[in-house]
Homo-oligomer: A and B are copies of this chain.
Amino acid sequence: MLLYIYLIAITAEAMSGALAAGRRNMDMFGVAFIAFITALGGGTVRDMLLGNYPVTWTQHPMYIYMTISAGLFTILVARYMHRLHSIFLLLDAMGLIAFTIIGCNVALRLNYSPTVVVMAGITTGIFGGILRDILCNRTPMVLRKELYASVSLLVAILYLCLLHFGVNHDINLLASFGFGLSLRLAAIRWGWTLPMFSYAPGRWGE
């Protein structure tokens, strides 16, 4: 089941990458490139951080073709995207959670300590979007918007706790998904955010 959600997730992420590229008037290559990096960049950074070679997508060319196709397909349907906005946010939320859990599992398999496992989950969940925003020359959104990265953090902790207490894995997945999805959708619906830190220009650092 996690695999199917993963495939939906990389498609949704690739489309969000393609839209960001479109805002920067990139050409078709740029769109495909940003789509690919948005969808698979988080897992790539995780693999490089953990020394988990070979990097996942290099063993699954299908992922490469899927994300590039999704990116190019987005060009065709971009004008209808605003109508699909709600379903898109739902897919993106599912992707965030699936990425997080998959990232935790990779670090667990390599016997990293719990803190690092949580960091691996978050990295997988949010770094694709961060790379997308860096490449499109804007301040990473996931660090400023409604609860997003924090959902990834909490899901990773919940998943790890349930694992630790020996809860059945299917129930764990269900609980983590249920919790994460509810939290993310509620955050979007009611505009929940973390407190922001605004630092007015002083002398240090600029």
The interface of chain A, by Cβ under 8 A from chain B, is: 16, 18-31, 33-34, 44, 48-51, 53-55, 58, 61, 64-65, 75, 78, 81-82, 85, 88-89, 112-113, 115-116, 119, 130, 134-141, 143-144, 149-150, 153, 193-199, 201-206
Contacts and interface: CB of A to CB of B under 8 A. Distances in A.
Copies of this chain, complex-wide, total 3
Given A29-B150, A48-B48, A134-B135, 12 more contacts: A19-B202, A21-B143, A21-B197, A23-B199, A23-B201, A23-B206, A25-B196, A27-B143, A50-B54, A51-B54, A51-B55, A135-B139
| Nearest 9 A/B pairs, CB to CB | A22-B199, A30-B143, A51-B53, A27-B194, A61-B115, A22-B197, A137-B139, A28-B194, A58-B116
B31 A197 contact: yes
A197 B28 contact: yes
